[in-house]
Chains A and B, each alone.
Chain A
Amino acid sequence: MSATTPTEREELNQLLRRTAREDQAAFAELYKRTSSKLFGVCLRMLRDRGEAEDVLQETYATVWRRASSFDASRASAITWLVTLSRNKAIDRLRQHREELLGDPSRMDETVDEQPTPAAGAEASQEYQRLQHCLDELEPQQQSSVREAFFTGATYNELATRCKVPLGTMKSWIRRSLMQLRTCLDQ
C-alpha cells in the first residue's frame, strides 16, 4: 500500500487538506501518490480498463470538489480516497452489471486475481489485524466476505455465485461482519 507509515499517512492528509483549499500543486501531488492504488482498486472491481479510467476520473473530480468534507478524525486520507473510488465503482457496477458480466471479453482484462502478499513487514498493522480476524471465520464465510469486498457483488449475486440460498448468504455475511467487529474492536 502506498501509505503504510504514519508519516506517509499524515503527508497524504496534509495534501488532501491543501487540496480542499484549491491548492492545485497539492492536488497533483496527491494524484501522483495515490492514483496507482485507486486505479488498482477500480480495475479489480470493474475488470475493464476503460470503465476503471472513467471511475478514476470521476473519483478525482469529486476529490477536487469535495475535499473540504474530508475529516481526518473520522478516516485517514487514503481510507477516504479508497472509499470514494470503491463507492463510485460499486455505483457503476449497479448501473450496468449485466453489461459488464454478460461480456466474457471483459474478463480478459488483466486483473491480478492473486492478492499481493501483503505479508511480513510490508503489511500495514491494520491489515495484519484484519487478516488475523478473517482467519478466525469459517473458510466459506471468509471467502464470501472477500468476494463481496473485492467484486462489489450484491447478496443476490453472491448467493448465485456460491450456489447457496439467498438467506444463507445473508446470514453468513452478517455473522461474519459481527464476528469481525468483535474481533477488531477488542
Chain B
Amino acid sequence: MNTPIEDGNNHLRYAEYVLGVLDADTRAEVAHEVLVSGEAATAVALWQRRLMPLTDTIREVTPAPYVWARIHDALQLDAPARVAPRKGLWDNLQLWHWLGIGASAVAVALLVVVSLPRPTTTPTVVAAGYMASTIQQDNGSTGWTATMDLQHARMVVVPATPVAFEQGRAPELWLIPAGGKPISVGMIARDKPTTLTLDPALLAQLGPTAALAVSVEPIGGSPTGQPTGAVIAKGAIGAAPDAGGKVAMIGDKPTDWTSV
C-alpha cells in the first residue's frame, strides 16, 4: 500500500499510525517496528506529541466504579487480609472455567468442596459468604453459572457454552424476587465471564426465594426497565458453600462424593 514513492517522507507512515488510519496488518507492522527500532519509536513519539492534544476536546466521562473493581481483581492487587482465605477460590480461573462447563449444580458444589482449603487454620470469618445459581436454558442445558459474593457485593456470571444471539441482541440478567417484578442486574457476555456490581437494593433481594433469569434484549439493555424479549434461561438461587467447608447442596441430592 505504501510504495517508496508515495511514502517519500520516511516518517509519514508513523504519522498515519498515530492518526489511526492504517489497516490492521500495517498497524501491526509499525507497532513491531516501534518495539525494535529506536528511530521508529522516536518518530512515533514525536507524532503523538503533535496530534494527541486533539484529545483535549473530548469530553471526559467518569467510568462506573466497577471498572476499577475489575482492574483491581484482574491484577490481583492487595485485598484486605480478612478475605485472604477465600481468595484462592474466587480467583481460581480453572474453577470458573469448570463451573462454566460443568452442567450439574451438584458437581459444582462438590468441586467447590474438594477445592477448598482445609478448615483447620482459620475459623470461618464470614457468616453469609456466597450464593450460587445455575441458570438453565429451556432444553435443560446450563446457560450460565452465577456466583454472588455478598460481602463484596459482586456477582460473576460464567457462560457454560456460548449462546447464539442475532445481531443487535444480547443477554440481560434479571433478579426476580419471590412474587416481585424482575430487577435488572445488568448485561452479561454470552461468551466470557462477566463481573457485575450489586447495588444495595439488589443485594437486599438476594436470597433462596429469589431467582435469576436471562432475557434477549437490545445491546444497550431493555429500554423499558423490564424484560422485553424472550426469557431464555432461569435458575434458582442457593447458598454456596462457605469457607468452613460446609456445603449447601444446590438443587439435587448429594450422591457419590468420592468419585469426583
A residues with CB within 8 A of B: 1-2, 4, 24, 27-28, 31, 35-37, 39-41, 43-44, 48-50, 52-53, 56-57, 60-61, 64, 74-75, 79, 82-83, 86-87, 90-91, 94-95, 99, 102-106, 108-109, 112, 115-118, 123-124, 126-127, 129-130, 145-146, 148-150, 152-156, 158, 170, 173-174, 177-178, 180-181, 184
Contacts and interface: CB of A to CB of B under 8 A. Distances in A.
A82 B6 CA distance: 29
A25 to B, nearest CB: 10
B50 A36 contact: no
B167 A102 contact: yes
B127 interface: no
28 contacts: A27-B77, A28-B68, A31-B68, A35-B62, A53-B63, A53-B64, A61-B75, A74-B42, A79-B48, A86-B55, A94-B27, A105-B219, A106-B220, A108-B220, A116-B57, A118-B56, A124-B56, A130-B50, A130-B51, A130-B53, A130-B54, A145-B19, A153-B21, A154-B23, A174-B12, A180-B51, A181-B15, A184-B50
Interface in B92-148: none
Interface of B: 6, 9, 11-12, 15-16, 18-24, 27, 31, 41-42, 45, 48-64, 67-68, 70-71, 74-75, 77-78, 167-168, 187, 218-220
A39 B237 CA distance: 35
A181 B75 contact: no
A106 B55 contact: no
Contacts of A158: 21
A37 B71 CA distance: 17
A178 B42 contact: no
Given A41-B58, A181-B11, 6 more contacts: A1-B56, A83-B48, A115-B58, A146-B54, A177-B15, A184-B50
A103 B24 contact: no
Nearest to A51: B219
B178 to A, nearest CB: 30
B60 A83 contact: no
A105 B168 contact: yes
A37 B16 contact: no
B52 A90 contact: no
A102 B64 CA distance: 26
A178 B56 contact: no
Contacts of B57: 115-118, 127
Contact of A124 (B12, B18, B21, B53): B53
B60 A37 contact: yes
A1 B57 CA distance: 8
Contacts of B31: 87
A150 B54 CA distance: 9
Contacts of B167: 99, 102-103
Contact of B45 (A53, A74, A130, A153): A74
Contacts of A99: 167
Contacts of A173: 16, 19, 21
B28 to A, nearest CB: 9
Given A24-B77, A37-B60, A48-B219, A177 B53 contact: no
Given A108-B220, A154-B21, A44 B58 contact: yes
Contact of B63 (A36, A118, A174): A36
A104 B9 CA distance: 39
